[in-house]
Amino acid sequence: MNTIRVAIGNGFPVIVFGAIAYLMFRTIRRRRREVKPSWRKEALWFAFAIYILMLLSITIVPSWKFLPDSNGVTRLYVFTSLEKPHINLIPFHSIRQFLFGNDARVDNFRSAGVMNLIGNALLYCPFGVIGVLAFGEKERIIRKLFLNGLVLCLAVEIVQYFVGRSPDIDDVVLNMLGLIIGLCIGRFIQKLLAAGKS
């Protein structure tokens, strides 16, 4: 949880500027089309945009801080790992390691591992939930959301290699599991909303 909090803090400027840019874009587009907005849809689309920005801040935005240098001048420092990224292309290898392995360098390794697995599974769950609520529950939309989520997930893993993080096929497996769960939850909520209107 602390890791996620730090990651969101690092990506906070990205989230703020991205949110402002999104609101400006939507405002200009609405005025050009002269269409009366659906505030429910607008709120969902905005939530989806903010979620994507938060996702990117957690997964690929490097750590940074403003610190004084030796002359007392405040400078921006970006921290990336100098170690060669470890790549895991063996499905379920990391999952087994977290569940059944051990690492003397890490306190409560198994508990930390389980939290890591749960976090990875939950990471893409909002993509499915908000995506269905924002764009609909038709089969073609569900397929498109899944494919877009998969492409985003793979793109993130590739970018992680170049920012000093460790791409892992098990991250993709868990992320897609979370996405599927999110899609199911989104469809369930849509059905409840439809039943409430009838």
pLDDT tens digit string along 132-160? 999 988 999 999 999 999 999 999 999 98
CA atoms within 13 A on the CB side of 68: 4
| Number of domains making up the chain | 2
Give yes or no: residues 126 and 190 share one domain: yes
pTM assigned to the model: 0.80
* Backbone angles phi and psi of 90, in degrees to 5: -95, 115
Parent domain of 155: 89-198
Q: Does residue 78 register a pLDDT over 60?
A: no
Give domain status of residue 131, yes or no: yes
Query: Would you place residue 4 in the very low, low, confident or very high pLDDT band (cuts 50, 70, 90)?
Result: low
Give yes or no: residues 74 and 105 share one domain: no
- Say how far apart CA 1 and CA 146 lie, in whole Å: 26
Which residue from 20, 14, 23, 103 is spatially nearest to 59, judged by alpha carbons?
A: 14
- Please say whether the beta carbons of 36 and 90 come within 8 A: no
- Residues facing 64 on adjacent strands: 78
Give yes or no: residues 113 and 182 share one domain: yes
Give domain status of residue 84, yes or no: no
Give yes or no: residues 41 and 99 share one domain: no
Give yes or no: residues 115 and 58 share one domain: no
CA atoms within 13 A on the CB side of 127: 28
